[in-house]
């Protein structure tokens, strides 16, 4: 068992408009106010060379084969892997807005084979906690703000939700995303603190899947 105190890898997942980005920001502030080392991360990371290609694809400026896009999203995580592990080992908790689960769910929803989709993510650091903000696609869409980006469509979001269900594992906490922001926030904080305590207690960093 690794005895060194490390940060926790906490991932927020869910459909579009489920509240991931706002809850990530709120959680990082909360942890920092408690005096904990915490950083906000997100995937896709659009700042890298691969991320630039993904951003262009998402805004529909570029057409790419579905398999190629899938591998680019995965490569975008692998190119950040060493930095991510370094931050965790240095004791910083990372609150990550989308991760490999979005990668698999979105590609599988297009019809790609689930196991094929999981393969390139194999070996990435496994989240200590996945907070899945569970919300019907119709409720999320009613929040407004669906822009012109690819995938911002209720029918497609429903398919994504079905794929997310297939990925649920023991490190997941499913949170009712229809609750008020404050109620979701309270649940998110409770699970996050518990995960951080386990990591500080020496929990090993595992690998996907
Ligand atoms: N994608 C992929 O295909 N493969 C991959 O490997 C990865 C991603 C990593 C871009 O992602 C696309 O890339 C995404 C999946 C795909 N496409 N889709 N769909 P993105 O993360 O850049 O997407 P985004 O547009 O930044 O975030 P989002 O998912 O659309 O929204 P969110 O972060 O979940 O929600 P939010 O911005 O926090 O909140 C949305 C609104 O709801 C906002 O007005 C809030 O004030 C409001 N809100 C939040 N919480 C509540 C509650 N509790 N009640 C009422 N209203 C609320
Ligand atoms: Mg977001």
Element (H, E) at 66: helix 66-78
Q: How far is the CA of 161 from the centre of ligand 1 (A)?
A: 13
Nearest CA to ligand 1 atom 11: 44
Please state whether beta strands 38-42 and 93-97 pair in parallel, antiparallel, or not at all (unpaired).
parallel
The three-class DSSP label of residue 89 is helix
- Tokens, residue 70: 């899938």
DSSP state of 113: -
Q: How far is the CA of 4 from the centre of ligand 2 (A)?
A: 32
Q: What is the pLDDT of residues 38-85, one digit of tens each?
A: 999 999 999 999 999 999 999 998 899 999 999 999 999 999 999 999
C-alpha span between 204 and 200 (Å, rounded): 10
DSSP state of 111: T
Average pLDDT over residues 186-202: 98
Write down the pTM of the prediction: 0.97
Calculate what percentage of the chain has a pLDDT beyond 70. Answer: 98
Nearest CA to ligand 1 atom 44: 143
178 CA: nearest ligand 1 atom:
53
Q: For residues 150 and 101, which has the higher predicted lDDT (pLDDT)?
A: 101
Nearest CA to ligand 1 atom 31: 17
Q: What is the pLDDT of residues 108-150, one digit of tens each?
A: 999 999 999 999 999 999 999 999 999 999 999 999 777 778 9
- Residues in contact with 3: Cβ distance below 8 Å, sequence separation at least 6, in sequence order: 202
76 CA: nearest ligand 1 atom:
6
Query: What's the ipTM?
Result: 0.97
What does pLDDT average to over the chain?
Answer: 96
42 forms beta bridges with: 97
207 forms beta bridges with: 125
Q: Give ligand 1 pocket residues (Cβ under 6 A).
A: 14, 16-22, 43-44, 58, 73, 97-98, 102-103, 106, 143, 145, 151-152, 180-181, 184
């Amino acid at each position: 068992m690794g005895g060194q105190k490390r940060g926790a890898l906490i991932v927020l997942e869910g459909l579009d408009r489920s509240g991931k980005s706002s809850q990530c920001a709120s959680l990082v502030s909360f942890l920092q106010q408690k005096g904990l080392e915490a950083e906000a991360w997100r995937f896709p990371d659009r700042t890298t060379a691969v991320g630039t290609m993904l951003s262009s694809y998402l805004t529909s400026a570029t057409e790419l084969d579905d398999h190629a896009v899938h591998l680019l999203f995965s490569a975008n995580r692998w190119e950040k892997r060493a930095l991510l592990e370094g931050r965790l080992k240095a004791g910083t908790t990372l609150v990550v807005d989308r991760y490999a689960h979005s990668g698999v769910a979105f590609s599988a929803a297009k019809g790609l084979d689930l196991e094929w989709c999981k393969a390139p993510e194999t070996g990435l650091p496994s989240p200590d906690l996945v907070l899945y903000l569970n919300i019907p696609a119709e409720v999320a869409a009613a929040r407004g703000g669906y822009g012109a980006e690819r995938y911002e469509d209720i029918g497609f979001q429903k398919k994504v939700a079905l794929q997310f269900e297939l990925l649920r594992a023991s490190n997941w906490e499913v949170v009712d995303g229809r609750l008020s922001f404050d109620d979701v926030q309270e649940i998110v904080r409770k699970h996050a603190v518990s995960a951080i305590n386990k990591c500080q207690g020496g929990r090993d960093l595992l690998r996907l899947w």
